[in-house]
């Protein structure tokens, strides 16, 4: 079940009654991150030697304490930032700059306040398919607004929407351009627990329906267990007796729970507490947070 970035692959689970460990399936490399590093100060990189792959249709979450470089990695994948060294490839091509092939949803909804829900999504759709007619664009926008349950609010402006509704619009807009990959930077972090849970369910449903490839940052262990096929655990850079050690990819955890899991049943599933305790133990004892 647990596969370390170096020597931990196949290690035993903490509890004796846990299921036998299994290796994560071989990745096809739809997304490949190779030896990525970022340094704002040359002798103290935020992280270094980060390598991982994501299969097509896979949902991967990344967890780590603030400052470990999670958002930097996502921004590099989005083409909004550059790494100090290393390479990122998606579908066989190196990532260089933003692209409509990668949809991004941030914690802040980033909607244009002067446009309605319909117009916000239509703007993105027109950018993706500039030759489409107005009727085609409108029909496509309506389809994805309905997908996130916002049809009654389609002609409202962001100022008339709750925080959860704004995030739904952001998710609908990202899905509407039908990207090859979806990048989510703590998209539910500012929402109350009830709204967060509802949108998690909606996101799971859409991802399963569209077979979307997703890379998501979260600080919520249960959210990662609910949504992800694999969970990447990042450590922070730290001073050691032998000098500074940059942060990096400490461990890769394959989620053994059935993919049909729901929030309501999650804590009843065999292996849930073993998985959760393993991740929490990493964050408390081994991530070396500053």
- Residue 206 is part of a domain; what is its CATH number? 3.40.50.300
Predicted confidence (pLDDT) per residue in 75-126, tens digit: 999 999 999 999 999 998 999 899 999 999 887 778 999 999 999 999 999 9
Q: Do 280 and 211 share a structural domain?
A: yes
Q: Do 183 and 171 share a structural domain?
A: no
Domain boundary among 159, 178, 197: 178
Q: Minimal CA–CA distance to 245: which of 34, 83, 68, 64?
A: 68
Q: Do 163 and 73 share a structural domain?
A: no
Q: Given pLDDT bands bounded at 50, 70 and 90, which one contains residue 16?
A: very low
Question: How many domains, in total, are found in the chain?
Answer: 2
Q: Do 68 and 53 share a structural domain?
A: yes
Burial environment of residue 240 by CB neighbours within 10 A (0 to 12, 13 to 18, 19 or more): exposed
Q: Do 275 and 238 share a structural domain?
A: yes
Q: Do 136 and 90 share a structural domain?
A: no
Q: Do 265 and 152 share a structural domain?
A: no
Q: Given pLDDT bands bounded at 50, 70 and 90, which one contains residue 63?
A: very high
The parent domain of residue 199 ranges over 2-101+179-286
Residue 14: the pLDDT is: 43
Domain boundary among 163, 178, 193: 178
Full-model pTM: 0.84
Q: Do 253 and 198 share a structural domain?
A: yes
Q: Do 154 and 40 share a structural domain?
A: no
The residue with greater pLDDT, 9 or 151, is 151
Q: Minimal CA–CA distance to 254: which of 43, 30, 61?
A: 61
| Antiparallel, parallel or unpaired: β 85-90 and 230-235 | unpaired
Residue 205: the pLDDT is: 84
Domain boundary among 143, 178, 213: 178
If DSSP states are collapsed to H, E and C, what string results for 58-87? CEEEEECCCCCCHHHHHHHHHCCCCCCEEE
């Amino acid at each position: 079940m647990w596969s370390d970035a170096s020597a931990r692959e196949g290690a035993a689970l903490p509890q004796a009654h846990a299921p036998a460990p299994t290796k994560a399936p071989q990745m096809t490399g739809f997304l490949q991150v190779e030896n990525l590093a970022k340094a704002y100060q040359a002798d103290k990189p935020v992280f270094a030697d980060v390598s991982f792959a994501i299969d097509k249709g896979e949902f991967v979450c990344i967890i780590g304490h603030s400052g470990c470089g999670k958002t930097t990695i996502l921004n590099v994948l989005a083409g909004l930032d550059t790494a100090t060294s290393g390479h990122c490839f998606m579908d066989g091509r190196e990532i260089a700059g933003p692209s409509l092939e990668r949809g991004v949803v941030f914690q802040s909804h980033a909607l244009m306040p002067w446009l309605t829900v319909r117009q916000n999504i239509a703007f993105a759709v027109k950018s993706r398919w500039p030759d489409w007619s107005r009727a085609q664009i409108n029909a496509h926008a309506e389809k994805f607004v309905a997908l996130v349950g916002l049809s009654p609010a389609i002609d409202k402006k962001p100022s008339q929407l709750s925080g959860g509704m704004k995030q739904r619009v952001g998710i609908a807009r990202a899905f509407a351009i039908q990207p090859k990959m979806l990048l989510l930077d703590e998209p539910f972090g500012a929402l109350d627990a009830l709204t967060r849970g509802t949108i998690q369910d909606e996101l799971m449903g859409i991802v399963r329906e569209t077979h979307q490839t997703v890379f998501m940052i979260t600080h919520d262990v249960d959210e990662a267990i609910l949504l992800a096929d694999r969970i990447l655990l990042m450590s922070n850079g730290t001073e050691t007796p032998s000098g500074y050690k940059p942060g990096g990819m400490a461990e890769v955890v394959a989620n053994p729970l059935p993919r049909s899991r729901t929030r309501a049943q999650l804590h009843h599933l065999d292996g849930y507490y073993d998985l959760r305790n393993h991740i929490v133990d990493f964050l408390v004892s081994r991530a070396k947070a500053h």
